[in-house]
A = this chain, B = another copy of it.
Amino acid sequence: MESVQAPQRITLTPGARRVLAAAGTLFYERGIHAVGVDLIAAEAGVTKKTLYDRFGSKEQIVVEYLADRDERWRAFLADHLDTVGDSPEQRLTAIFDASREWTAENSAKGCSMVNAHAEISDPSHPAYAIIIGQKRWMLDLFTGVCRDAAVPDPETLARTVLLLHEGALVAHGLQVFPDAVRLASEQATALLAAAAARNRQG
């Protein structure tokens, strides 16, 4: 079943692909409102005409930017999950390992969804659904892992793991201390192990 508010996507011609790549870097590094369409077009080596023929509006570029990043993150994560076994411990570790790689390569300034949310005030903006959707999806993912583990309250554990994960992205982006995602990983797996042990004894 599709999401209730699936955003409208466009077909990506070669030029559109370069626009999306340029917009992705610029939006993430400088912020959405700080980047103009002229700069995006110039950076992509494309005329503004082409840009508007493909995307129609700057808002649509923003939507494609977030949807594309969301898509790539989920694929990246799926690849990592495919390499490990079915045990909850292994899967949880794999998720955080993926996050660690991803942040090192693509998210030095923190989570693009959180950052985009800071610049969008209107909840009816089509990008809103993507942002909230990814966080809910991550929570559901953690919840599935925790349910598979034999723990007393998988929903609460999953929420706690999400807090650690989101906190780590922030701490990494603001460079509060080194290797925040690794710490989050260790603490999350420790919580899972402790909850499982507690359940076996109680």
Residue A170 at the B interface, CB < 8 A?
yes
* Interface SS, A side: helix
From B109, B119, B169, A33 is in contact (CB under 8 Å) with B119
Q: Please, how many angstroms separate the alpha-carbon atoms of A201 and B93 in the complex?
A: 29
Taking CB atoms, residues of chain B closer than 8 Å to A174 are 113-114, 117, 131-132, 135
- Considering the complex, which residues of chain A in the window 165-195 have a beta carbon less than 8 Å from any beta carbon of chain B? 165-171, 173-177, 180, 183-184, 187, 194
CB distance from A163 to the nearest CB of B (A): 3
Q: Which residue of B lies closest to A175 (CB)?
A: B132
**Chain A 140-172 near chain B by CB (<8 Å), digits 1 or 0:** 000000000000000010011011111111110
Q: CB of A34 within 8 A of chain B?
A: yes
When the two chains form their complex, are residues A121 and B163 in contact, meaning their CB atoms are under 8 A apart?
A: no
| Closest-CB distance, A53 to chain B (whole angstroms) | 26
Is A24 located at the chain interface by the 8 A CB criterion?
A: no
A30 within 8 A of B: yes
**Chain B residue nearest in CB terms to A31:** B119
The interface residues of chain B lying within 8 Å CB-to-CB of A4 are none
**Contact (Cβ within 8 A) A118 B121:** no
- C-alpha gap A136/B113 in the complex (Å): 23
Identify 21 residue pairs between A and B in the complex whose beta-carbon atoms are under 8 Å apart, listed by A's number: A30-B121, A31-B33, A31-B119, A31-B121, A33-B33, A33-B34, A114-B114, A117-B173, A135-B171, A136-B176, A139-B176, A159-B171, A159-B183, A162-B171, A162-B176, A163-B164, A163-B168, A163-B184, A163-B187, A166-B170, A169-B170
Please report A residues at the B interface, Cβ cutoff 8 Å: 29-31, 33-34, 109-111, 113-121, 131-132, 135-136, 139, 156, 159-160, 162-171, 173-177, 180, 183-184, 187, 194
